[in-house]
Structure 1
Amino acid sequence: MVELAYSRVSGFLDEPERQERAYAVESSGTSDSHYADKKPEFDDDGAAFVRSYRHMWPLLLAAGFLVGVSYGIENLVKKYEIDPSYGNWTMAEYKEANIVGTRCEGIDHESNWKQLKRKLLQCRRGQYYDPMHDDCFACPATTPNDRVFSVFWETQSDCSHLVKNVHTRYVTHVIWSFLEPLDNGTVPNQFQFWSQEHIKDCMLQLRMRCIKNMVAIGGASARKQFLTLNDPGNLARFKKSAMDVMLESVLDAIVFLVLSLDARFGLDGIDVDDETGNMLGTHQDWSTYHAPVVVNYLQALRDGMQLVVHGLLMTYGHTGMNVIQKPDEPRYILSWDEFPFAWDPPNPTNKDYPGCIMFQEGEDGWHRCYEPKISKIVDFVNVMMYNVNGGDWVYGVIMKDTLPKKASAVVPPEKLILGACSGMGCVLGQPAGQEVFNAGNGSAYYGGTMLWSGTIDILYENSTCMGRMGIAGNYGVKMPFRATIT
């Protein structure tokens, strides 16, 4: 082929070089069909594939990635960032300072607790210490439009979990449970936690946010102790010892001035959880045999007798909340826990359900009829909705008929507090979303709501129920606004 000027020889059409067969061919007696049976022979720069564990590195990376993601999610759940039950964001959705109502920088101000505690103890009941202004300032006064969101806290658990929880900004009252009366009627003044000082510190920190502290006397396990109050001696001991718990805040206030002691609870009221009913001890007729006793001791807790002060020494008889209340302090709170079926009209001719007089022969029943005289003595009636068992239709009857018609006829609606439970705190089956319904309806039509299982909700369920209830009813103490000193 002749090469032309200014041209190059292209190899495009050239025949490619042929390589030798990759498989050795025997010289004779071998057909092409046997080629596949021969092992490959590689050039010097090649190597045969040999299986080994070193080729598992992608699986190791995948396993490490899975472990890392699981660890991250676990930390988010433990830090209350994700609600494992509902899969939604909780604390992260409301990531802000732990304050309530109108922003009050005094609450967020860092201060040494020993110094803060000393100054807070100088404040009167109904006041909080403002570190920004270095003074005691009055908490918001009670108004008819206020709505209660009370949370029970079982004192055998560390109360620091309650104080530090972000959803306490919705809480207005904490009910510390329980002080169980003894067989002789005496109410002990020791809570169930190992350190009483620790509980007092928690109460003081709640006072910094104007959250009221109440003590619950009784409980389901103390039913028979209340029955002993029909004895005059036991009843007298009950009245006196119950007020001793309240009077500790008054007595220690004077002791603090003299001996610089600060061991006081500073309680704002008492919740009476007398869960007696048509039992054997009441001859299965609560209204006749135990209701008068209840009215007697509730009236004594409210009114009592005079308090006598001699200089720095204080002696007292059977005092009441109205007696120990100082003129410039808020009213002491007295509340009563009631079953929702207590307002079912008695119907002895109905063998299937005779109403609130229902009882089972020879057994300690839970039914009882509400005593209307209680309404004038107490400030709130906590309706224990979580003790209802019967399905959604029973819950519907209570919400549409029992509460608005029967209960409201003998108890002012603003005194009715709708109780709720959550998760593991519900002993009986409850309708889905009942805690939100009770919180919303309690805020719109009644005096508020109450969460019986507050301890379980905080310790085991990321306080998601408190958050849902607080938002549903727009609850929370609206702290006063004070201009920052510059």
Structure 2
Amino acid sequence: MSDNPYTRVASTSGFLQEPSRDGMFWDESSFTSESNYGEKKPIEADDGHEFVHSYRHMWPILVAVWIFYGITCGIAKLVQTYEIDPVYANWTMTEFVEANVIGERCDAVGRASTWHDLKRKLLQCRRGDYYDPAHDDCYSCPAASPTDRVFSVFWESQSDCTHLVENVNTRYITHVIWSFLVPRDDGTLTNEFQFWSQDHIKDCILQLRMHCVKNLVAIGGASDRLQFLKLNTTENLHRFQTSTMAVLEEFGFDGIDVDDETGNMIGTHQDWLTNHGPVAVKYLQTLRDGMDEIQKPGEPRYILSWDEFPSAWDPPNPTNKDYPGCIMFEENQDGWHRCYEPKISGIVDFVNVMMYNVNGGDWVYGVIMTDTLPKKASAVIPPHKLIIGACSGMGCVMSQPAGQEVFNAGNGSAYYGGTMLWSGTIDMLYENSTCVGRMGRAGNYGVKMPFRATLT
């Protein structure tokens, strides 16, 4: 044995010694290609009982499903109650900020306020008033005057109205026409719009009231025009009036737009003026009487408007086989022509001329602007009641001349009562609201909010 101390330590500890091979053996068969380790299974203890699958082992999955369902319902409720922005999924909707909507940057309506608190205070204001956060009170919107110019846009309620409220070009809009509600066969007006949340629409209406924008409900529409033929009985007319007044009060609307697009069709025996004109006059007067009855002291009078085809003022000419004027019809067909009933002028506040329903070419627009409106229509309707309509993008039934909407908006402001757009929804969702912006600037439209000194 060596006297080297390092050798002695190593030998004692066994660090350099080989491990014992007792009990170990090498089986060459283990290394042959015939061995398949993939087929070898670990040996498990067998307690004599076979494992039986059961539904009771699914409880973790059921718990997970219920948790997921609860979270989903909670998020949906928050979105529907206007707590979460459905686009960006943040909490910005709890703040009501007018910076993009009011062009004047008025402190009275530009201050951030918790929406629930603002909504509560707005509901305490009379119709025709807005809530002023700077003064913490309700204040009257500007009273109607002969020099006012209307810029009304249709908003199709199947689309999220926050696109309308938050759009920068909304500052040009004076009236929003919410479309559509439709009379049933018994005359009762439905009270549900096409959007998934009626409360959401009511919130948008309240927000527009903060800018003194008027809100009207549109009744009818081209797709449901036959329903107006059912308003020819006393019972149906009574139900129509009662249910419509209930809708006005429920949503806080400022009036009604009647989009009765019946014409010289089978249901009117191809003569609208004779067979349906009296019905229209009667139900319009019924609506006017109902609105005057529910009007509360100190509130502005409810608005009533009527939508009309531009061809309705073309003089009848039965000898002209190519175009007999407003009496034009096709045998056994539901047409789109009719002659205007002058009695309507004394009942309604506005007549919206649907300039997007023009057939015949660009030259027809020139005839309407230079002859039909200033001479024929103005002879039976005061010019300040005529609202010149326009269309945007897919809202145009027929293509219109380039820039026609600007031309209509400018002339509507200069010579008539204003302009109208079908539809604000199409323009804001698909046309980047360029039409609303051009029309608003062309006619210098927009609500002029009252000036109030800021409290210090």
Asked if the contact 1:101/1:477 (under 8 Å) is kept, the reply is: no
Mapping 1:51-450, distance limit 5 Å: 97-100=99-102, 102-248=104-250, 265-303=251-289, 320-450=290-420
Distance 2:238 2:349 in 1: 23
Measured after TM superposition, the shift of residue 181 of structure 1 is 1.2
Distance 1:157 1:166 in 2: 18
**Partner in structure 2 of residue 89 of structure 1:** none
Moved over 4 A (4+): none
Asked if the contact 1:421/1:452 (under 8 Å) is kept, the reply is: yes
Distance 2:257 2:396 in 1: 20
SS, match of residue 287 in structure 1: helix
- Cα RMSD over matched residues? 1.5
Q: TM-score, normalised by structure 2?
A: 0.78
Gaps spanning 5+ residues in structure 1: where? 1-77, 79-95, 249-264, 304-319
Measured after TM superposition, the shift of residue 331 of structure 1 is 1.1
SS, match of residue 105 in structure 1: coil
Distance 1:103 1:461 in 2: 26
Distance 2:364 2:383 in 1: 20
Asked if the contact 2:101/2:167 (under 8 Å) is kept, the reply is: no
Measured after TM superposition, the shift of residue 103 of structure 1 is 4.0
Measured after TM superposition, the shift of residue 101 of structure 1 is 5.7
Distance 1:331 1:281 in 2: 34
Instruction: Give the residue type in structure 2 aligned to 1:390.
Output: G
Instruction: Give the residue type in structure 2 aligned to 1:275.
Output: E
Structure 1 residues 436-480: Cα deviation after superposition (integer angstroms, max 9, x where no partner): 001000000000000112101101111010000000000000001
SS, match of residue 386 in structure 1: coil
Measured after TM superposition, the shift of residue 131 of structure 1 is 0.6
Q: Is 383-392 or 333-342 further displaced after alignment?
A: 383-392
Distance 2:103 2:445 in 1: 9
Distance 2:411 2:350 in 1: 16
Asked if the contact 2:101/2:169 (under 8 Å) is kept, the reply is: no
**Partner in structure 1 of residue 70 of structure 2:** none
Instruction: Give the residue type in structure 2 aligned to 1:229.
Output: L
Asked if the contact 2:271/2:327 (under 8 Å) is kept, the reply is: yes
Identity of aligned residues (%): 79
SS, match of residue 387 in structure 1: coil
Distance 1:239 1:117 in 2: 29
Measured after TM superposition, the shift of residue 98 of structure 1 is 2.4
Measured after TM superposition, the shift of residue 244 of structure 1 is 1.7
Asked if the contact 1:389/1:430 (under 8 Å) is kept, the reply is: no
Asked if the contact 2:189/2:240 (under 8 Å) is kept, the reply is: yes
Distance 1:230 1:355 in 2: 26
Q: How many positions carry a matched residue from both structures?
A: 361
Q: TM-score, normalised by structure 1?
A: 0.73
Structure 1 residues 358-386: Cα deviation after superposition (integer angstroms, max 9, x where no partner): 00011011100000000000000000000
Q: 2:434 aligns with which of 464, 469, 477?
A: 464
Measured after TM superposition, the shift of residue 237 of structure 1 is 1.7
Measured after TM superposition, the shift of residue 235 of structure 1 is 2.2
**Partner in structure 2 of residue 55 of structure 1:** none
Measured after TM superposition, the shift of residue 99 of structure 1 is 4.2
Asked if the contact 1:276/1:366 (under 8 Å) is kept, the reply is: yes
